[in-house]
């Protein structure tokens, strides 16, 4: 009897410890209020600088209340932007109106980003360390306190679901599901090519560390540091090293530019391209993207040399790099992000729309942005080039494939092949190890729940699993509910991002737009190239190159860098209409 009484008391003490250890584990503070524990075991919410007050920062001030009453929901805004094409076609003709709307979009998105950075993965509270230690990713929300009852604070079970089970039940592709809006493989490879210049996890130190410059610096073209950059340069006329094979210009081989690359031992020496990122030899699509930017760099060098014959190699190179950064951002905003959005309103990369506004020209890459951007379901099961079909396994570590088929044929293969749908049960077996790693990292870094992030970025938390995955996917909702103990607030960040129902006609659900878009848009417009100090003709060597930066698009980039005499194929981030017809009415089963 005494033993039973002792165990009961011990159990009750354990409960008390859980509830008193950190009252902030329940995340009581709303609307970006900061929770601070108090000496009596309670908490207080710091609402300083917010449009809300109250014990939990839950009550809006009068002005905010009026704005909230007038504010349309994000779904309403999305509907308006993806419908009424005739109206947006009219708006797009007026540059001043278009610029005003774009400026409002940039500032709205920027408002969700904390600059200066307040959190990193080392601390559960605000520190100056988070700002000054740029070797770490920033954090939008602090880690879940270690002493909380559950991994998500107080929600869910004390143990998270087994990762291998999650992967098998919710991520593994049983049958390829094409991306319904027509996204192609060229887009999929660009997503990887573009983001690897700033998503650079330092795995040796841990998943909270990174080794990049926190922004678009085109290190994916020019190398990780000055040493690699110098190895990739010809040191003549500002140009990068190249080689000519069968009449086509390609990046050099490692034997001619000794940068660190990852190749398998049996990769032939003449297939070992020296590229700006050590991983880019893994997939032929990354070699194609690297090649087109090397060609564009050298083309701009020729343009500058003609107008500035007195310029040194260094000045030609650095000025061209400015232009390539500008071109990259232009393509990302007006081709890449435009495609993702599905908007009829035409996005514009005109840095002047933010001049004189409350925009700080500095950026930090956040952990959450890095995790949300793992779009590996885009990878197809089969890549078709000319008359050849390749599985993903066939093309891994096969950079020589680009020489076999040639630049144009590789480009045609990527633009006409649909990418996969980003969502449940559509990861190719070759990418499942990445899923496991990202979920493991999320747990190590104690990321808060998916619903907490929705609220942080201005969305309403989901109340049920059916609301998360869609009412037409009851089976999926039930399975998720079973593994997360029936608590929607226990769903992990990455799992929620991948399982969320899609908006009609676009690539992602509401949360991807709400959570990832602010970091994306802010990072592009807060880039130094986008600042008043940089955005002027002299930065790019004169009006000719400045005009090229301002008018560049994906079609121009590829068509003007084909082999002489070659006709330009279909170049877009969407498959041709006749190909899309095959897929657009396909019912995607989850």
C-beta of residue 261 within 8 angstroms of C-beta of residue 272: yes
**Is the pLDDT reported for residue 79 higher than 60?**
yes
**Is the pLDDT reported for residue 2 higher than 80?**
no
496: confidence class by pLDDT, cuts 50, 70, 90: very high
pLDDT digit string, tens, across residues 307-330:
999 999 999 999 999 999 999 999
pLDDT digit string, tens, across residues 227-255:
999 999 999 999 999 999 999 999 999 99
For 442-446, what is the mean pLDDT?
A: 98
Dist CA 114 CA 210 (whole Å) = 19
**Is the pLDDT reported for residue 556 higher than 60?**
yes
117 token code pair: 């950075």
Q: Look at residue 188 in the predicted model and tell me its pLDDT.
A: 97
Using DSSP bridges, classify how beta strands 382-385 and 248-250 pair: parallel, antiparallel or unpaired: unpaired
Dist CA 460 CA 454 (whole Å) = 6
C-beta of residue 236 within 8 angstroms of C-beta of residue 313: yes
542 token code pair: 């004169």
For 74-96, what is the mean pLDDT?
A: 93
CA torsion 383-386-389-390 (nearest 10°) is -50
Residue 132, phi-psi category: left (phi > 0), alpha (psi -120 to 50), beta (remainder): alpha
Q: How far is CA 543 from the centre of its chain?
A: 32
Q: Average pLDDT, whole number, for the chain?
A: 93
589: confidence class by pLDDT, cuts 50, 70, 90: very low
- pTM equals 0.93
Write the DSSP assignment of 361-426 as a string of letters.
S----BHHHHHHT--GGGS-SEEEETTEEEEHHHHTT-TTHHHHH-HHHHHHHHHSSBPBPSSTT-
CA atoms within 13 A on the CB side of 110: 22
Give the active site residues: 196, 373
Token look-up 């991002």 returns: 497
**Is the pLDDT reported for residue 528 higher than 80?**
yes
Nearest 5°: phi and psi at 374?
-85, 90
pLDDT digit string, tens, across residues 326-369:
999 999 999 999 999 999 999 999 999 999 988 999 999 999 99
Q: Look at residue 17 in the predicted model and tell me its pLDDT.
A: 43
- Burial class, 576, CB count within 10 angstroms (exposed 0-12 / middle 13-18 / buried 19+): middle
Other residues' Cβ atoms within 10 Å of the Cβ of residue 484: 23
Q: How far is CA 315 from the centre of its chain?
A: 32
Nearest to 318 by CA among 238, 230, 241, 257: 238
Using DSSP bridges, classify how beta strands 59-60 and 382-385 pair: parallel, antiparallel or unpaired: unpaired
Q: Look at residue 21 in the predicted model and tell me its pLDDT.
A: 66
- Is the peptide bond preceding residue 273 cis, with omega within 30 degrees of 0? no
pLDDT digit string, tens, across residues 150-160:
999 999 999 99
pLDDT digit string, tens, across residues 5-20:
444 434 433 343 444 5
Length of the chain measured in residues: 590
Other residues' Cβ atoms within 10 Å of the Cβ of residue 552: 23
Q: Look at residue 565 in the predicted model and tell me its pLDDT.
A: 87
**Is the pLDDT reported for residue 502 higher than 80?**
yes
For the chain, first and last CA: distance in Å? 54
CA torsion 502-508-513-515 (nearest 10°) is 100
Residue 486, phi-psi category: left (phi > 0), alpha (psi -120 to 50), beta (remainder): left
Nearest to 293 by CA among 326, 262, 328: 328
For 35-47, what is the mean pLDDT?
A: 95
∠88-92-94 over CA atoms, to 5°? 125
Q: Look at residue 505 in the predicted model and tell me its pLDDT.
A: 80
For 66-73, what is the mean pLDDT?
A: 93
Residues whose CB falls within 8 Å of the CB of residue 212, separated by 6 or more in sequence, listed in order: 197, 198, 199, 200, 219, 365
State percent of the chain over pLDDT 70.
95
């Amino acid at each position: 009897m005494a033993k039973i009484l002792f165990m009961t008391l011990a159990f009750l003490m354990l409960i008390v410890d859980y509830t008193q250890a950190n009252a902030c584990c329940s995340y009581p503070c709303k609307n970006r209020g900061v929770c601070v524990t108090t000496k009596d075991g309670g908490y207080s919410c710091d609402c300083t600088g917010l449009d809300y007050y109250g014990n939990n920062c839950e009550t809006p001030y009068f002005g905010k209340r009026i704005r909230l009453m007038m504010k349309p929901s994000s779904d309403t805004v999305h509907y308006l932007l993806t419908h009424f094409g005739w109206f947006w076609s009219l708006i797009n003709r007026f540059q001043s109106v278009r610029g005003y709307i774009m400026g409002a979009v940039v500032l709205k998105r920027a408002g969700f980003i904390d600059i200066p950075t307040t959190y990193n993965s080392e601390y559960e509270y605000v520190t100056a360390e988070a700002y000054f230690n740029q070797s770490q990713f920033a954090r939008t929300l602090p880690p879940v306190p270690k002493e909380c009852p559950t991994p998500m604070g107080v929600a869910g079970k004390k143990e998270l679901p087994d990762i291998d089970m999650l992967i098998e039940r919710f991520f593994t592709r049983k049958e390829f599901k094409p991306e319904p809006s027509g996204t192609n493989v060229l887009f999929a490879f660009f997503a990887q090519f573009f983001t690897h210049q700033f998503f650079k996890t330092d795995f040796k130190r841990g998943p909270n560390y990174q080794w990049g410059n926190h922004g678009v610096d085109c290190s994916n073209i020019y190398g990780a540091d000055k040493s690699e950059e110098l190895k990739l340069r010809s040191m003549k006329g500002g140009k990068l090293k190249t080689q000519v094979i069968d009449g086509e210009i390609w990046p050099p081989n490692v034997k001619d530019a000794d940068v660190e690359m990852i190749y398998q031992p049996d990769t032939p020496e003449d297939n070992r391209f020296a590229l700006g990122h050590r991983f880019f030899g893994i997939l032929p699509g990354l070699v194609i993207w690297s090649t087109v930017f090397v060609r564009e760099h050298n083309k701009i060098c020729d343009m500058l040399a003609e107008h500035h014959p007195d310029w040194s190699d260094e000045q030609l190179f650095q000025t061209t790099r400015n232009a390539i950064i500008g071109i990259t951002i232009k393509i990302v905003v007006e081709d890449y992000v435009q495609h993702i959005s599905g908007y009829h309103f035409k996005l514009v990369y005109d840095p002047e729309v933010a001049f004189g506004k409350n925009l700080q020209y500095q950026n930090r890459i956040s952990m959450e942005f890095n995790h949300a951007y793992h779009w590996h379901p885009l990878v197809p099961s089969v890549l078709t080039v000319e008359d050849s079909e390749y599985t993903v396994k066939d093309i891994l570590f096969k950079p020589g494939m680009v020489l076999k088929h040639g630049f144009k044929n590789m480009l045609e293969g990527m633009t006409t092949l649909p990418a996969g749908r980003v969502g449940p049960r559509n990861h190719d077996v070759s990418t499942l190890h990445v899923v496991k790693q990202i979920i493991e990292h999320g747990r190590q870094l104690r990321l808060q729940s998916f619903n907490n992030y929705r609220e942080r970025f201005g969305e309403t938390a989901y109340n049920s699993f059916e609301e998360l995955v869609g009412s037409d996917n009851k089976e999926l909702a039930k399975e998720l509910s079973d593994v997360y103990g029936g608590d929607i607030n226990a769903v992990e960040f990455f799992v929620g991002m991948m399982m969320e129902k899609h908006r009609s006609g676009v690539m992602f659900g509401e949360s991807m737009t709400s959570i990832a878009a602010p970091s994306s848009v802010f990072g592009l417009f807060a880039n130094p190239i986008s600042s008043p100090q940089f955005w002027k003709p002299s930065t790019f060597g004169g009006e000719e190159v400045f005009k090229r930066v301002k008018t560049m698009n994906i079609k121009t980039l590829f068509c003007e860098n084909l082999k002489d005499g070659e006709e330009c194929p279909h170049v877009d981030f969407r498959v041709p209409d006749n190909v899309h017809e095959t897929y657009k009415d396909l019912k995607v089963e989850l």
